[in-house]
Amino acid sequence: MALAEYDTKVELVTEHVWQNREAFLRLNPAGEVPVVIENDGPPLCGANVIMEYLEDTRGYAAGKRRMMPDNPDARAEVRRLCEWFLSKFHAEVSDPYVRERIYKVEMPAGAGGGAPDSASLRTARQNMRHHLRYLGHLVSKRDWIAGDAISFADLAAATAVSVVDYLGEVPWNEDDAARSWYARMKSRPSFRPILAEIARGVRPAHHYADLDF
Amino acid sequence: MALAEYDTKVELVTEHVWQNREAFLRLNPAGEVPVVIENDGPPLCGANVIMEYLEDTRGYAAGKRRMMPDNPDARAEVRRLCEWFLSKFHAEVSDPYVRERIYKVEMPAGAGGGAPDSASLRTARQNMRHHLRYLGHLVSKRDWIAGDAISFADLAAATAVSVVDYLGEVPWNEDDAARSWYARMKSRPSFRPILAEIARGVRPAHHYADLDF
C-alpha cells in the first residue's frame, strides 16, 4: 500500500515463510515478509524499514502525497503509531487471528497446522475491541491517525485492520469514528488490491470489499 | 546510551511498568519504557522512535558522533538490525531472561511473580547461541554491526546483550569476533552507566563490569 501511494510499481511474489527457504533466508535472515528489492540495492526487510526507505528516497519529491511529516515531534507520533499497529496490534490481534484461522488451514500438521485454538481467538476478540476504541479515539480528535494529514500510520493501521476485517472480526458498530476513517481508507486506489486479495481456504466476510459497509 | 552518545543530558526516572500507573499510561498508552520527554514536546515512546528523533533533531549537527549514515541503503541496514536486536533478540532471548530471572523476583505473586520457568530459560539459552553466532558473523565481515561506522544498531545490540551478560548467560568463548566487538562497546564512556546498574535482588555475573573479560 505504501509503495502504491508513492506510485512505485512492484512485482509481488508470494513467500510461504514457514517453509524457511534458504534462498529467502539469505534475503532476510529474520525469515519474515515483507521484503522489497529495488534495482541492485540490498533487500529492504520489514514494513518499517521499507516505509523509512520510501521517505528517505522519495519523501521530499512526493509533495502532497508524502506519508511522513516534516516536524520531528510529528514524525515521532507517526512512528509510534506505525509501531503500535505493526507490532502491538499484530501481536495482540491480527497475528493470533491469522495463525489460528488462516495459517493453520494451509499448514501441514507437522508444521503446526490443525484446528484453531478457541482461547487464543477469545483473547484476540477482546483485544480487538480495545484497539478499535483506541483507533476511534485517535481519529475523533484529529483527521487522521497520527495528525491532520494522512501518514504511514494510517497505512499501517488500515492494512493491519483489513486482515481482521477479512475474517469478519471487527465490531464496527461499536465505533463510528473508526468506521468512517476505515471507509475513507478503503476508498483509496492504493487499497484496492488489498480488497481483491483472497486467502486460500478462507472466504472473506461478506462486507469485506464493500466501500459502504 | 543513544542520548549519551549525542551528549544529551537526561534525568532518569524508574518506572515499574507492571503497575500500569495511569499517569504513565497517559504518556505512553503502550505502557512500555523507554519514554523520553524533551522540553514541552510530546512523549517519545520506544527506543526506535527515540533514535529516529535524535537523528532528525541532532543527526546532521553531530558530525562524526552521528549514529545514522546518510545513504538510504545503509540507513535501511541500520534500521533492520535495530529491529533485530530490539524486537527479535528481545522476544527470543532477553525478554524471557528478564521475565524469568529478574521481574519474577520483584513482582508480587498476584502479578505473575514466582519461580523461573526452566523450559523458557532453556529455549532462551539456545536462542542466545544462535544470536551470538549471527552477531559474530556481522562484525567479522565489517567493523561494526551495520557497516564500517558505529551506528544505532551497535547501541541496540550492545544494550540488548548487556542484559543477558548481566545474568552471565552469554557464552563468549564461542565467538571471538562478537566478544571483541562487545569489549569495544563496553569501553565507550556512554556504556559506563549501564555497567554500574544493579537489578534489585539479582547480582551481576562476576565479569559483567570488566572491560577485559
- Residue A212's pLDDT is what? 86
Looking at the structure, tell me whether residues A166 and A77 fall in a common domain.
yes
**For the domain that residue A86 is a member of, what is the CATH number?**
1.20.1050.10
- Nearest chain A residue to B79 by CA distance is A49
Looking at the structure, tell me whether residues B55 and B86 fall in a common domain.
no
Among B48, B65, B82, the domain-final residue is B65
pLDDT, one tens digit per residue, over A125-165 is 999 999 999 999 999 999 999 999 999 999 999 999 999 99
Main-chain phi, psi angles of A16, to 5 degrees: -85, 95
Q: How confident is the model at residue B18 (pLDDT cuts 50, 70, 90)?
A: confident
B77 interfaces chain A, CB cutoff of 8 Å: yes
Mean pLDDT of A29-39: 95
Among B65, B100, B118, the domain-final residue is B65
Average pLDDT, chain B: 94
- Residue A198's pLDDT is what? 84
Looking at the structure, tell me whether residues B8 and B55 fall in a common domain.
yes
Average pLDDT, chain A: 94
B57: chain A residues, CB-CB within 8 Å: 72
In-domain check, residue A213: no
pLDDT, one tens digit per residue, over B73-109 is 999 999 999 999 999 999 999 999 999 998 888 778 8
Looking at the structure, tell me whether residues A80 and A33 fall in a common domain.
no
Q: What is the ipTM of this complex?
A: 0.92
In-domain check, residue B106: yes
Give the residue ranges of DSSP H helices in B17-149.
22-27, 47-62, 72-83, 95-98, 104-106, 118-141
B83 interfaces chain A, CB cutoff of 8 Å: yes
Q: Say yes or no to pLDDT of B172 above 90.
A: yes
Distance CA B90, CA B95 (A): 5
Q: Smallest Cβ distance to A83: which of B46, B84, B88?
A: B46
Which position has the higher pLDDT, B109 or A124?
A124
Q: What percent of chain A has pLDDT over 70?
A: 100
Looking at the structure, tell me whether residues B23 and B80 fall in a common domain.
no
- Residue B208's pLDDT is what? 92
B56 interfaces chain A, CB cutoff of 8 Å: yes
Q: How confident is the model at residue B26 (pLDDT cuts 50, 70, 90)?
A: very high
In-domain check, residue A56: yes
Residue type, B142: R
What DSSP state is assigned to residue B6?
T
Distance CA A97, CA A166 (A): 10
Question: Who contacts A207 (Cβ-Cβ below 8 Å, separation ≥6)?
Answer: A168, A213
Residue B56 C-alpha, separation from nearest chain A C-alpha, in angstroms: 6
Mean pLDDT of B181-198: 94
Mean pLDDT of A164-191: 97
Mean pLDDT of B131-154: 97
Looking at the structure, tell me whether residues A91 and A43 fall in a common domain.
no
Cβ B63 vs Cβ B135: under 8 Å: no
Number of domains in chain B: 2
A48 with B83: Cβ contact below 8 A: yes
- Residue B114's pLDDT is what? 87
Looking at the structure, tell me whether residues B117 and B189 fall in a common domain.
yes
Mean pLDDT of B170-191: 97
In-domain check, residue B208: no
Looking at the structure, tell me whether residues A49 and A82 fall in a common domain.
no
pLDDT, one tens digit per residue, over A45-92 is 999 999 999 999 999 999 999 999 999 999 999 999 999 999 999 999
- Residue A169's pLDDT is what? 96
- Residue A197's pLDDT is what? 85
Looking at the structure, tell me whether residues A105 and A48 fall in a common domain.
no
Q: Say yes or no to pLDDT of B28 above 90.
A: yes
B72: chain A residues, CB-CB within 8 Å: 53, 56-57
B83 with A42: Cβ contact below 8 A: no
**For the domain that residue A43 is a member of, what is the CATH number?**
3.40.30.10
CB atoms within 10 A of CB B170: 26
Note down the domain range covering B41.
2-65
A79 with B29: Cβ contact below 8 A: no
Looking at the structure, tell me whether residues B45 and B76 fall in a common domain.
no
Cβ B77 vs Cβ B141: under 8 Å: no
Looking at the structure, tell me whether residues A90 and A181 fall in a common domain.
yes
Looking at the structure, tell me whether residues A56 and A91 fall in a common domain.
no
In-domain check, residue A130: yes
In-domain check, residue A113: yes
